[in-house]
A and B are shown apart, each in its own frame.
Chain A
Amino acid sequence: MDLTNIYASLPADLVATFSMVLVALVALALVVWDAFRNNAPGIPWAGVVALGVAIVWELFALGDAPGTAWYGMVRTGGFAAFVNIVVLIGALLSIILSVPYLREIRHAHGEVYAIILFATVGMMLLGTANNLVAVFVGLETMSISLYILTGLVREDEGATESALKYFLLGAFSTGFFLYGIALLYGATGTMDLARMSEGLAAGENLVMFWAGVGLLLVGFLFKVSAAPFHMWTPDVYQGAPTTLTAYMSTATKAATFASLILVLYAALPPERWTMVLAVIAVLTMVVGNVLAIAQQNVKRMLAYSSIAHAGYVLVGLAAGTPAGYAGALFYLLVYSIMNIGAFGVMALLEWDGKEGQTQTLNSLAGIGPRKPLLGATMVVFMFALVGFPPLGGFWGKVAVFAPAVEAGLTWLVIVGVLASAVSAYYYLRVLYVFWMRSPEDEPEAAAVQDRVFAVPVTSAAVLIVCVVLLLYFGVRPGGILETTASFFAGPGASMALLP
């Protein structure tokens, strides 16, 4: 092996993945900072600054041509920049929401922010990985950080339970994932996504290859909580601290879906997996939406709703066309914003002292008129989640459903649109309870009457930013959709992503 000039590309690689490196270094620095100044109040804000710088850096990289860095391990260019931006925004907004929230539940440890940053690095690696090894490293970095965050409130049984459950099942699904990687490597002789289809053409191990693809899909589908791999989701989302749930339910999905898109788009011929994804999408949308109806706990309801949303994204992927992938990316961005907003509102309305695990929707009867800001922003988030025009959620749905119709999956879209019609019921029920019930109707709501919910300026600012973004996505979605489409455009379709 020729080792000459092996480090020649180091400076260029550092620049190309500057944001990831920056976030990783700041995360390490935060660990040291916390070691010497326990729970220093500046820690989260240092993280916020790092994430902000990273976002700005990535914004400038949105138009870059696709390429790779670190010996073909990591993808760079527009697609990577977009995925990183979604993940970084998710982390940024969640951290700002977390600062007052974690103080409220008396778990304002400095390490939390370092772990969020570590998870973010893992997600960035996962979302931009160009090699199955890098995919795996990213996935695990992200997952292990999330296990810790889930069990943050360790004296609480529910939180411990969900963390343990998440960990056990996560490890289980990782087994599938690794096995899939092994089979794919065995069949194609490469880990490099871009060379995988070449390797397949050379080799003859079709059964081994497709079995590997199936196992790989299982790993991905577990992480995005698609049915029937979704069962951990409600427990974990309910048990974890609310603002961290906001982070988990958005950035994780964005990164994992991005990685799945890359694997599907760059490495796999679509003829076989379209049907799988369509079937899983149907299951996911139906299970998510139907089960959400019966939930009394808002966090649990939102967990099922996030399952349903994974189903919508899968509809876009099942289309198997560049337009479908572009739509899915757009959807992930919009979904992240609206979900963080919804969880953010719920975090500010928590009164049970158990991270909202025992809090019913009815106990928040009539909160809207008393907290107009929270009530009004929740209206926007719920309508966006339903997919009402002119909010971003509407265009998200159009962007994933329209390509599926064009790809001939009309039946799938019919299921999807019907499922989202059902979703109106439980989203609007939130608004109904917030605005149209009065606390006197609900005995449970009496307990809330005595509690004063202080809305910190920073949290209010985050919610307002989310609302403004959703309105912007709704009124001017063209530019962003155009950008996401450009990642998959150009001559030679799938080659556009290759170095």
Chain B
Amino acid sequence: MDAALLVQLILLLPLAGAVFNGILPLFLPALRTREPLIGAVATAVVAIPFVLVLILFLGYEPGQPVIVDFFPWIVAGDLEVHFAYRIDELSLVMGLIVTGVGALIHLYAVGYMHGDSGFWRFFAYLNLFIFAMLNLVLGDNMVVLFLGWEGVGVCSYLLIGFWYTNLKNSAAANKAFIVNRIGDFAFLVAMFLLFRELGGLDFTTITEGGGAIPEATLNWIVLLLFIGATGKSAQIPLFVWLPDAMAGPTPVSALIHAATMVTSGLYLLARLSPVVLAAPDIMVVIAVVAALTAIMAASIAIAQNDIKKVLAYSTVSQLGYMFMAAGVGAFFVAIFHVMTHAFFKACLFLGSGSVIHAMHHVEHEVEHKTGKHIDPQDMRTMGGLKKYMPATSRTYFIAMLAIAGIPPLAGFFSKDEILFKAFEYGYDGHAYAWFVWIVGLLTAVLTAFYMARSYYLTFEGEERWPLADQVHPHESPWTMTVPLWVLAGLSVVGGFLGLPGVIAHGEWNLIHHWLGEPYGGPVAEPVLAPHGEGFLAIEWGLILLGAGIAFAGWLFARAKYRTDGLAYDAHLRAKLGGLYRAWEGKYYWDELYDRLVVRPLMRFSERGLAAFDRYVVDGAVNGVAALTAGISRGLRYMQTGIVQNYALAIVFGALLVISLILFA
């Protein structure tokens, strides 16, 4: 089959699914409750594109990107943008992740969303999301990418606020959307600047001509792109939406807020890697912000009790890792971590969803029997679930080890490669990379610790919910456990795609050979000075160090949390004092933004500008009332009342205009 047809099918099938699930039931209410039909269609329109991407992948000639140009979107003057899609190493990897993990999560959601009155809506949004995400990763120019970029933002908004009857959820959805729009503004301005400098927006033009842009402008462009990425990929200062986004159904958290959408910022930087590399000053910014984000989120995660919040902060932290890699020029490693992270984090989220599913059942029973209310997401009322949920606990355990970086699971290889690249970059003479490396090591310990904590609090120890001897949770149905096992399996083997340089001199680092520029791939990397003789030993040392701290973090948490986790939490709180409270309070970012941005803006709109507005309106109403009562009095009102204010504004405006013209 030719590429154009395949790409068309890959893109249009999810869109067709969204239309089928979203528009038809709107006008045919009978369709809304046909869950098997809707679930099957929704899953199929993602699974089939996965197969098609796989076909493209297998038939792909390395180093020869295929550009499928459907039609010119806009040709006006200098501006020429095509509806064109790009099949190359990078987009294929991303496409496989999106459709593969996406299909598994769709299958899982069929079980998870069973019985929800918005079942059809949910799958319509989810299909639409896949469509937008594919536009994002397959697009051949900034505009198609932006189409996807905005599209995933909308779908994320819709899905976070999916259970909209709860006001908190819709607030979270709004927050996510607005924060993302702030990132989008930077993206748009970067796009305009790129267009001004290069006269084109397709990736070939940008990656080839990007280096020739004057340095000052280039720095701005890359910085703006990074700001755009911080919005989508939840970095300081725009990460605040992601933890709140957990208000959405758990499959959404797994798909959008862990595996795919949040990594699009990384994809953007990797896609434009030659341009980013040409702005070394901004790379420092990226790396430092990423390192701070990673350790900040990791420390917050230690103090969270909501199982999804732990995973959310973990995601922010892991995204920080990926940006660290980008900040030291190791874009292919970032993509490698995107991939492994997609496996184990999706598995963790789906596992937590399975737990929440089971705890919902417990919650209902408990409420029925005692009238007491428990939070099904609170780890403090879990514990000992291993006995009841063997599949969930095992897969969660595997994924937990993977994210902790225990060899030879997937997370070990990707995380170790990031740390190694940071070390190597510092070794090459870039001092800031040392900082990144050290923060990375610290974060690695914390990661192993808090992830193990979440596992032991949830699955081991005693059963802490009320009436634990009478009420028992159940394992989830097969549609939910099968995806868990598949993802756990991938978390085990996924790392072997990127074996470190000490093995066969990096010849077996498949992901590097696939993506890296030296091997004909699209992802550029910096040229480093050749290392000395002893470097191999250092490399082995770093690998042992990485494995060692992962084990240390895990085993320490195991010792403390396996039997009685809550006691150790209390101990920590007592011992760390203010620091722990800062973690619990999430370093007060939300409060800061509320004080600095939200409230002043609202006050400005409501009291400052609108007060005048309202005063003026009230005055006007009175004015007319008087006018009908008596002409003379009315006229006086009109003259001393509000119209005068308006006219005064016009006079001031006229003065402004004229003085600007004459004197500016």
Known: A231-B613, A235-B616. 9 other contacts (CB 8 A): A165-B642, A221-B657, A222-B650, A228-B649, A228-B653, A293-B605, A294-B605, A414-B185, A485-B77
Task: Return the CB mask of A252-287 against B: 1 if under 8 Å, else 0.
Answer: 000000000000000000001101100110000001
Contact B620 A235 (CB under 8 A): yes
CA distance A287 to B652 in the complex (A): 16
User: A280-B657, A291-B610, A376-B26 in contact; A169/B643 too (CB < 8 A)?
Assistant: yes
User: A157-B628, A161-B624, A477-B74 in contact; A421/B182 too (CB < 8 A)?
Assistant: yes
- Chain B residues with Cβ below 8 Å from A148 are none
Interface-side segment among A4-12, A58-66, A135-143, A207-215: A207-215
- Chain B residues with Cβ below 8 Å from A441 are 165
CB contact list, A211-266 vs B, under 8 A: 211, 213-215, 217-218, 221-222, 227-229, 231-232, 234-235
User: A215-B658, A228-B656, A276-B661 in contact; A323/B77 too (CB < 8 A)?
Assistant: yes
Q: Decide yes or no whether B532 CB sits under 8 A from chain A.
A: no
- Chain A residues with Cβ below 8 Å from B617 are 234-235
Min CB gap B129→A, angstroms = 15
Contact A372 B164 (CB under 8 A): no
User: A417-B189, A485-B76 in contact; A231/B646 too (CB < 8 A)?
Assistant: yes
Q: Decide yes or no whether B60 CB sits under 8 A from chain A.
A: no
27 residue pairs A–B, Cβ–Cβ below 8 Å: A158-B621, A165-B620, A165-B642, A165-B643, A168-B638, A169-B647, A211-B658, A213-B661, A214-B657, A218-B653, A221-B653, A228-B652, A232-B646, A235-B617, A279-B656, A293-B605, A376-B23, A383-B154, A402-B192, A402-B196, A406-B195, A410-B193, A425-B178, A428-B177, A432-B161, A476-B73, A477-B73
Q: Which residue of A lies closest to B181 (CB)?
A: A421
Q: Decide yes or no whether A436 CB sits under 8 A from chain B.
A: yes
Q: Which residue of B lies closest to A289 (CB)?
A: B605
Contact B621 A157 (CB under 8 A): yes
Measured CB to CB, the residues of A under 8 A from B are 157-158, 160-161, 164-165, 168-169, 172-173, 176, 207, 210-211, 213-215, 217-218, 221-222, 227-229, 231-232, 234-235, 272-273, 275-276, 279-280, 287, 290-291, 293-294, 323, 326, 369, 372, 376, 383, 388-390, 395, 398-399, 401-402, 405-406, 410, 413-414, 417-418, 420-422, 424-425, 428-429, 432, 436-438, 441, 475-478, 481-482, 485
Min CB gap B634→A, angstroms = 10
CA distance A162 to B654 in the complex (A): 23
Q: Which of A276, A376, A401 contacts B188 (CB 8 A)?
A: A401
Q: Decide yes or no whether B578 CB sits under 8 A from chain A.
A: no
Contact A389 B660 (CB under 8 A): no
- Chain B residues with Cβ below 8 Å from A214 are 654, 657-658, 660-662
Min CB gap A239→B, angstroms = 9
Min CB gap A121→B, angstroms = 27
Contact A482 B76 (CB under 8 A): yes
CA distance A304 to B26 in the complex (A): 32
Contact B147 A389 (CB under 8 A): yes
CA distance A218 to B650 in the complex (A): 8
- Chain B residues with Cβ below 8 Å from A213 are 661
Q: Which residue of B lies closest to A216 (CB)?
A: B657
Q: Decide yes or no whether B606 CB sits under 8 A from chain A.
A: yes
Contact A478 B654 (CB under 8 A): no
Q: Which residue of A lies closest to B79 (CB)?
A: A402
Contact A276 B185 (CB under 8 A): no
Min CB gap A486→B, angstroms = 10
CA distance A428 to B150 in the complex (A): 14
Q: Decide yes or no whether B602 CB sits under 8 A from chain A.
A: yes
- Chain B residues with Cβ below 8 Å from A291 are 605, 609-610, 613
Chain B interface size, as a band, is 35 or more
Q: Which of A218, A229, A323, A388 contacts B150 (CB 8 A)?
A: A388
CA distance A169 to B651 in the complex (A): 11
- The 10 A-B residue pairs with the shortest CB-CB distance, nearest first, are A481-B76, A214-B658, A436-B164, A421-B181, A161-B624, A228-B653, A405-B192, A389-B147, A417-B185, A294-B605
Q: Which residue of A lies closest to B26 (CB)?
A: A372
CA distance A37 to B451 in the complex (A): 82
Min CB gap B654→A, angstroms = 5
Q: Which residue of B lies closest to A165 (CB)?
A: B643
CA distance A184 to B427 in the complex (A): 70
- Chain B residues with Cβ below 8 Å from A402 are 79, 192, 195-196
Q: Decide yes or no whether B554 CB sits under 8 A from chain A.
A: no
Q: Which residue of A lies closest to B182 (CB)?
A: A421
CB contact list, B503-555 vs A, under 8 A: none
Contact A161 B623 (CB under 8 A): yes
Contact A405 B185 (CB under 8 A): no
Contact A388 B638 (CB under 8 A): no
Contact A161 B76 (CB under 8 A): no
Min CB gap A159→B, angstroms = 10
User: A215-B654, A218-B650 in contact; A294/B27 too (CB < 8 A)?
Assistant: no
User: A169-B646, A228-B652 in contact; A161/B620 too (CB < 8 A)?
Assistant: yes
- Chain A residues with Cβ below 8 Å from B438 are none
CA distance A422 to B605 in the complex (A): 12
Contact A290 B74 (CB under 8 A): no
CA distance A326 to B375 in the complex (A): 58
User: A280-B657, A291-B609, A389-B143 in contact; A168/B643 too (CB < 8 A)?
Assistant: yes
Q: Which of B164, B601, B646 has the most CB of A within 10 A?
A: B646
CA distance A438 to B118 in the complex (A): 13
Contact A210 B662 (CB under 8 A): yes
Contact A401 B192 (CB under 8 A): yes
Q: Which of A169, A211, A395 contacts B650 (CB 8 A)?
A: A169
- Chain A residues with Cβ below 8 Å from B165 are 438, 441
CA distance A388 to B645 in the complex (A): 37
Q: Which of B188, B642, B645 contacts A417 (CB 8 A)?
A: B188
